[in-house]
């Protein structure tokens, strides 16, 4: 049996506090490709992100999630990261008293124990800081403690660059950012995609607004409404959202569903 490469969800149904949020998600993010998952508030976007990353508060009712064929759902969060998954949080947690440098070192050592060499690690960190145009003073600060929204997102991007995962899920990394910060996030993703380490990373870009796709063009766009992917298409689908909003998509899909139901009848 051949292994399906990709970050794959199959008929994934997930509940939070006994309320079903995801009602059967089918999705495949291939290596090196950018998939955008768009949807209105409450559609289940963040639930998918947290479920993939292994948050204990999300109960998988049925279905599967695999990374290059490896089952994710049976693994604790750290093993998923070791398998090659990265989640950029919408609201990254603060870890007071733990410096960014120490955290990066611990995380990198956990994910890639084989290539840790102090000098090389140091060079890697400074190279990435440089690429992301970040102040080295970041390293001495406590993880996300007292960070502005923009700083938190930049730290997420720095961690993604240093951990160089196989698949990265970016959960509303664009939310709450001004244009400059948004451009900076876009540059971070693109710089990583252009690097040797990052060219095969598959991205799942979760977003409410199409604007980040101007900086990071998506290969595939999915529309998530009420726990289901109702439409999948090319980059033009994002333009449709921009023009008609989610209500437009909801109307067209529900009318399409109604037609299909009528046809079956």
Partner 1 sequence: MPSGVSETLPALDFTPTAATLDRVLTFLDDQDDGTASDAALRREALARYEALPAPGARPNRGWKYDYAALKFDELRWTSGRIEMAAIPSRPAPKPRPEEAGDLDRPALATENAGGLFFVGATRIDAPSNVDSRITVLPLTESGKHDLAASLAGTLHEIVDWRADKFAALATAFENCGAYVRVPDGVQLETPIQIVFASAPDDEAVFPHVVVILGKGARATVLERHVGDGDPFTCGIVEVHAGEGAELDYAVVQQTGDAARVFFSRGARCERDAQVRWYLAELGGALARTVLSAKLAAPGARAEASALFFNTGMQHVDLTSGVDHTVGPTTSDTVVRSAATDRGQGRYVGNIVIRPKAHGSDASLRDDALLLSKHAHIDSIPALEIAANDVKAFHGATVGSLDEDALFYAGSRGIARGEALRLITLGFFEPVIARFPGAALRDEIRTALDGKIDEATEIDL
188 touches partner 1 (CB under 8 A): no
Q: Which residues, including other chains, have CB under 8 Å from residue 70's CB and lie 6 or more apart?
A: 83
The total number of residues written for the chain in this structure:
265
Exactly one of 21, 81, 218, 224 binds partner 1 (CB under 8 A); which one? Answer: 81
Residue 103 Cβ vs partner 1, minimum distance, rounded to whole Å: 7
And the tokens for 112? 């890639």
Exactly one of 32, 69, 140, 245 binds partner 1 (CB under 8 A); which one? Answer: 140
String marking each residue 141-170 x if it binds partner 1 according to CB under 8 A: -x----------------x---x-------
16 touches partner 1 (CB under 8 A): no
169 contacts 49 by C-beta, under 8 angstroms: yes
SS3 at position 102: helix
String marking each residue 97-116 x if it binds partner 1 according to CB under 8 A: xxx-xxx-xxx-xxx----x
And the tokens for 85? 């998954």
Q: How many C-beta atoms surround the C-beta of residue 24 within 10 A?
A: 17
10 touches partner 1 (CB under 8 A): no
* Options 72-80, 201-209, 226-234, 243-251: segment touching partner 1 (CB under 8 A): 72-80
46 touches partner 1 (CB under 8 A): no
Among 227, 264, 231, 234, residue whose Cα is nearest residue 249: 231
Burial of 59 (0-12, 13-18, 19+ CB in 10 A): middle
CA 53 from chain centre, in angstroms, equals 10
78 touches partner 1 (CB under 8 A): yes
Dihedral (C-alpha) 251, 253, 255, 257: value to the nearest 10 degrees? -150
Exactly one of 24, 40, 77, 149 binds partner 1 (CB under 8 A); which one? Answer: 77
Residue 128 Cβ vs partner 1, minimum distance, rounded to whole Å: 13
SS3 at position 224: strand
Query: Largest Cα–Cα distance of the chain, in whole Å?
Result: 69
67 touches partner 1 (CB under 8 A): no
Pairing label, strands 228-233, 167-171? unpaired
Residue 251 Cβ vs partner 1, minimum distance, rounded to whole Å: 37
DSSP string, 22-47: EEEEEEEE-TT-EEEEE--TTSSHHH
222 touches partner 1 (CB under 8 A): no
Give the number of residues in contact with partner 1, rule: CB under 8 A.
Answer: 42
Exactly one of 134, 139, 168, 205 binds partner 1 (CB under 8 A); which one? Answer: 139
CA 180 from chain centre, in angstroms, equals 21
Exactly one of 25, 37, 87, 237 binds partner 1 (CB under 8 A); which one? Answer: 87
139 or 220, CB closer to partner 1?
Answer: 139
Q: Which residues bind partner 1 (CB under 8 A)?
A: 53-56, 76-78, 80-82, 86-87, 89, 92-99, 101-103, 105-107, 109-111, 116-119, 121-122, 125, 139-140, 142, 159, 163
């Amino acid at each position: 049996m051949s292994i399906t490469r990709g970050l794959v969800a199959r008929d994934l149904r997930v509940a939070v506090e006994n309320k079903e949020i995801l009602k059967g998600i089918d999705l495949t993010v291939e290596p090196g490709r950018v998939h955008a998952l768009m949807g209105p508030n409450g559609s289940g976007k963040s639930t998918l992100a947290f479920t993939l990353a292994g948050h204990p508060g999300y109960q998988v009712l049925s279905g599967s999630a695999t990374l290059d064929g490896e089952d994710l759902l049976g693994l604790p969060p750290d093993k998923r990261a070791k398998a090659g998954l990265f989640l950029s949080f919408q609201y990254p947690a603060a870890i007071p008293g733990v410096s960014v440098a120490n955290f990066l070192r611990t995380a990198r050592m956990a994910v890639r124990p084989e290539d840790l060499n102090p000098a090389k690690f140091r060079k890697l960190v400074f190279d990435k800081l440089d690429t992301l145009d970040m102040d080295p003073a970041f390293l001495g600060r406590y993880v996300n403690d007292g960070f502005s929204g923009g700083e938190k997102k930049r730290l997420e991007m720095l961690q993604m660059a240093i951990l160089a995962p196989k698949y990265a899920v970016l959960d509303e990394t664009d939310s709450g950012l001004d244009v400059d910060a948004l451009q900076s996030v876009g540059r971070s993703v693109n710089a990583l995609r252009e690097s040797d380490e990052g060219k095969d990373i598959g991205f799942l870009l979760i977003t409410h607004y199409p604007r980040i796709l101007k900086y990071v063009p998506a290969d595939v766009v999915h529309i998530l409404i009420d726990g289901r992917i109702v439409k999948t298409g090319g980059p033009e689908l994002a333009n449709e959202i921009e023009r008609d909003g989610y209500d437009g998509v909801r109307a067209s899909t529900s009318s399409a569903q109604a037609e299909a139901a009528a046809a079956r009848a």
